[in-house]
Amino acid sequence: MRPYRAIPIGKPIKSENFVYGWLWKTYDGKCYILDENSNVKYRPTDYYAEDIEGIFEVIPSTVGQQVGLKDKNGKEIYEGDKLRSTATKVANPSIKICEWEGIGFDPFVADCEHSGDGWHWEIVGNIHAETEE
């Protein structure tokens, strides 16, 4: 299982505000990230989620899952990242957004110079925050 990231409710939508961990959605549509280092060993219930240390209610539209690949600099790639191709044969590399395409994460499965790896890509920002280049 791959971890997720999202921005907590009440925080500015900036890259430095992402929290990382395990996604939990409640029946009423709320989303939480349970910190990766939390010692909670069971799924919290809707009734006391706010009382758990290391759990953050997050903005649902900012939730993104780790794709299991790293970019050319060794940074984990997440859904919603903006990626620039670093392949030498690409004259004018475009910026692509990492998003789920039904069978895998684009740009790794469709319309891409090199699929199946992350080392031909560099993270230059994400769709939830400013561009980092």
* Residue range of the domain that includes 31: 4-62
Number of domains forming the structure of the chain: 2
| Domain co-membership, 9 together with 55 | yes
DSSP 44: P
Question: 20 pLDDT exceeds 90?
Answer: yes
Task: Quickly list DSSP for 92-125.
Answer: SPPEEE-EE-SSSEETSSSS-SS-S-STTEEEEE
Residue 131 lies in a domain: no
Q: Do 82 and 94 sit in the same domain of this protein?
A: yes
92: domain CATH number is 2.30.30.290
* Mean pLDDT in residue range 77-92: 77
Give dist(CA 50, CA 62) in Å, integer: 19
| pLDDT tier, 112 (very low <50, low <70, confident <90, very high otherwise) | very low
Residue that terminates a domain, selected from 62, 96, 111: 62
Phi-psi category of residue 116: left, alpha or beta, with phi > 0 → left and psi -120 to 50 → alpha: left
Q: What are the backbone angles phi and psi of residue 17, rounded to the nearest 5°?
A: -95, 0
Amino acid at 35: D
pLDDT at residue 92 in the model: 67
Angle at 9 between CA 8 and CA 12, to 5 degrees: 80
